[in-house]
Structure 1
Amino acid sequence: MPVGPASAPAPHRVRRVFAALVVAVLVGVAVGAGVWFLLRDTSLGSRSGAGPAPKVTASSSARPSSTSPSSAATPTPVSSAAAGYRRTEDPVGYSIDVPRGWTRTEKQGQAAPVVVYDAPADGRRLQIFRIAEDTPAQSLDLAENDPGYGFARQPGYQVLDRASGTTWAELAYRYDDTDLGARQVVDHRFQAADGTLYAIRATGPATLAPALVRDPLTRALTSFCPTGAECD
């Protein structure tokens, strides 16, 4: 039977299909980029906030010693933590120890929520978020070296230390933030007990002793446990 002009797709339907394809491509690019663009370590409310073997525990991933704000979810205190810390069951889906008195905020990244804990007095910060790359090392390399947004492009960037293991990768560096001044960062990406990949970033003023910036990260890593997972 001949097909008449009425069978041709309506122009507005073609436009809707094309728009959907464009959105899908943009989302795929953002996830593959590790959602780094939203993780600039600037003052909260500007560019801060943000972009996952055998089974391992959260403690095994820790290194040996050497957008728009969402609703204000409140983490639930659970069992006791070390002195100076509190253990919480975070609404995002994991338990973690954080310093007492630090304030929690949450932002929605391109692929997952970004939870931020800020010290009220000295400018230290923890950022916790899920990553989308295949391995922690791949995710950290992309975040550091991407030619468009990698943090190696930041003013004053200087690598302080670099290390990795089977299920984790870590980079310590400093840079000059246009709002906060010289900053030091420890970026640790790891496989959690349920196999999901996460990043925890500890930041603080470059004038602080490095241990003051690293200690909250170490405690967060050794206590991190996804909801429903078995962790040491």
Structure 2
Amino acid sequence: MALAVLVFVVVAGLSGLGVWYFGRDGGTAGAASPSVGADVKPVAPGSGRPTTAGPGPGPTSSPSPSPTPAVPSGYRVLHDPVGYTLDVPQGWTRRQVQGEKAPVVYYDSPSDGRQLQIFALSEDTPAQSLDLAENDPGYGYAKQPGFRAGQRTSGDTWAELSYRYDDADKGPRQVVDHRFQAADGTLYAVRSSGPESLAAALVRAPLTAAVDSFCPTGARCS
């Protein structure tokens, strides 16, 4: 009986020693290390959820670049020397004049009389700039012959007015004047115009493409 008790005590002691030995690499004596599933990766600092399934990036991997928006059919990407990138209809010709406060860039259609006009603004907000452009007693385009305002729309960082007037050389014209804050904080105007006889969508399309793609040189644009 005494011999049996002695054997039991020795075996129990060796078992306890084994548990302590296998548990000490986890940092807590006697605690079992948690297992990590093969389809779960560690959560990076600041990320909202763990990454699951698939191989993780290597130590020298860099994030994948964001996809570049497709250029609309019939347009091309232009890096204008004034200091911005935008999409312009293919075949349109560029010219530049010096305005009172900033260079004014024109892109002209050689076939149907449409035109884009781009320049930087000096006012505090797009809405303020658009109001002055329309109503200033010295140069406001509300004084142009046959002026008639159309739709007015605006947002937190942009303002827009469509209107028509009678040009002394080109005849009845329709205009969409869009003023906005670019990615670098600078305010710009993009004006699209064309003969009043054209469908309004044809006059708006170049403006939409230009504004959607507009990016000042050196700025990070979505």
TM-score, normalization by structure 1? 0.65
Q: Which has the larger radius of gyration?
A: 2
2:86 maps to 1:123? no
2:185 maps to 1:195? yes
Tell me what 2:64 maps to.
none
Q: Which has the higher contact order (CA 8 A, sep 6+)?
A: 1
Alignment partner for residue 161 of structure 2, among 157, 171, 184? 171
Question: 2:138 aligns to what SS in structure 1?
Answer: coil
CA displacement 1:43-63 (0-9 Å, x = unmatched): xxxxxxxxxxxxxxxxxxxxx
Tell me what 1:106 maps to.
96
Superposed, 1:60-75 pairs within 5 Å as none
Tell me what 1:218 maps to.
208
CA displacement 1:6-34 (0-9 Å, x = unmatched): xxxxxxxxxxxxxxxxxxxxxxxxxxxxx
Unaligned runs of 5+ in 2: 1-68
* C-alpha distance in structure 1 between counterparts of 2:201 and 2:88, whole Å: 15
CA displacement 1:74-133 (0-9 Å, x = unmatched): xxxxx9722100001110000000000000001111111111000000000000000100
2:86 maps to 1:84? no
* C-alpha distance in structure 2 between counterparts of 1:151 and 1:105, whole Å: 22
Question: 2:146 aligns to what SS in structure 1?
Answer: coil
Whether the aligned pair in 2 keeps the contact of 1:80 and 1:87 (CA below 8 Å) is no
Unaligned runs of 5+ in 1: 1-78
Tell me what 1:145 maps to.
135
Question: 1:190 aligns to what SS in structure 2?
Answer: strand
**Root-mean-square deviation over aligned CA pairs:** 1.4
Structure 1 segments of 4 or more deviating over 4 A?
none
TM-score, normalization by structure 2? 0.68
Tell me what 1:8 maps to.
none
Whether the aligned pair in 2 keeps the contact of 1:80 and 1:86 (CA below 8 Å) is no
* C-alpha distance in structure 2 between counterparts of 1:122 and 1:174, whole Å: 17
Question: 2:205 aligns to what SS in structure 1?
Answer: helix
Alignment partner for residue 151 of structure 2, among 157, 161, 175? 161
* C-alpha distance in structure 1 between counterparts of 2:100 and 2:141, whole Å: 18
* C-alpha distance in structure 2 between counterparts of 1:126 and 1:180, whole Å: 15
